[in-house]
Structure 1
Amino acid sequence: MASSDLNLKHTVSPDEWEARVNLAAAYRLTALFGWDDLVFTHISARVPGPEHHFLINPYGMMFDEITASSLVKIDLDGRKVSDSPYDVNPAGFNIHSAVHTAREDALCVMHTHSINGVAVSAQEAGLLPLSQQSLGVLASLGYHDYEGIALNEDEKPRLVRDLGSNTYLMLRNHGLLTVGATPADAFVAMYFFEASCMIQVRAQAGGSKLLPIAQPIRDGIAQQITQATKGAGAGALVWPGLLRRLDRRSPGYAD
């Protein structure tokens, strides 16, 4: 069934529909920015309401094909809780379910296997303070050692421990993860995470001695970010413009 054959707008609550539209937009933007890894990563978002239900991509659908209606509603075990013609990959929700369970504030969890992110995750020193983009990431960053494809339930406590209260998690030899109160927040956090990794890889490739940013400047970055975003947060500030870009370049996500 093609994604255009299904439209749930008038069969779900307005709050759920808004969550669906924003999550579908995050998937489309991930493809637009070139961070998708075919169909092998996920972005999940909690459905508003008392139930612990979540939205995730239909397994096998490319990120630039995903629509608000094609997203699948599941429980914390990755099982479908509403009718959908699409399958899900329960194993792919393993990382996400761990984070959603441990962090009530992590209403959206985004995980990528971007080339730059994986490259930096394989470096012993991890992310370096080489750019303005990296400073906000470094202020809220954890690391999780690679344990193979994330299929084992017993990895969850270690993953939760390594994320802690941070916004960013570097999965060693694997990729990047961000959390946010909204798909906008998680996506924009991933933008800065990925940009930091890309800058680092390119700076290292230049062959010159690297110039790290001094610790006193790093210590004051959180206050500067709040000032620069006028207290609204980067996600709220940037998201409307990103949706306009999608409307021009990848329309149909809100179907």
Structure 2
Amino acid sequence: MPLVPTKELVLAAAARHTGIGAFNVIHLETAEALVSAAEQAGAPVILQISQNCVLWHGGLDPIARAALTAAEASSAHVAVHLDHAEDENLARRAIDLGFGSVMFDGSALDYEANVEATVRVVEYAHVNDAFVEAELGTIGGKDGAHAPGTRTDPREAHRFVDETGVDALAVAVGSSHAMTERTAAIDLDLVSRIHAAVHVPLVLHGSSGVPDETIIMAIRAGMTKINVSTHLNGFFTTAVRAYLAAHPEVVDSRRYVGAGREALAAEAARLITVFSSGPRTGFPEGVTA
């Protein structure tokens, strides 16, 4: 099936008041697992390649072309997205390669510099029919705007969206990247207030650390794009370890990598179903849209 624009998938989910899974590609086997998951679930998925992944592979093109090819070969609706790009040139290259969207991360910049850089990326993207996600924040490092205790201000979010013209906004509401336990608490009231303040879909980063039931409530409160990486990597790695423990004689890496791919696909399919399972029919107590 031809590559599907990210904009189409995200706006469709927002219109249905459901979520859409956006899962990180680490290597070819991840991409294969994620498109298989979408086919199993009968629902769309967004494949994400982060700037860190690009650095690990030594460049964007090899892993990008692998993910794009896997997406195009799938019978499911699949989009490809650049995640957490701090380099404007990397964002432009992804758009040139055919990515449906890029996430420009200017959270390490001060507010005005973040706006200026984001506007440049938005202008390039929109000329090329690409969708742009951005985020707010002034704290650098892995956690960025999603460090515990840091929150997005709804008024600043409204101003930022208006000034940059971004198509989606990643917001800090209690989650944190790279969590291996699903114990994060989301400020659902804040999600609802930001949702009411901006006219673009909201994105939850750091969803690996958020329990299913909390993600469902966050979607009900206004989240649309749900990013997951570490949680799925854990399934892949656990399956590889189990296979090697059971088959210590194996030297063909396809054997144990295949086990990881299968385990990741099964959990990704489950998450896709959870996120897209139905429209918001109500809000948690004390939360309004």
- How does the TM-score come out when normalised to structure 1? 0.30
Question: Greater helix percent: which structure?
Answer: 2
- How does the TM-score come out when normalised to structure 2? 0.28
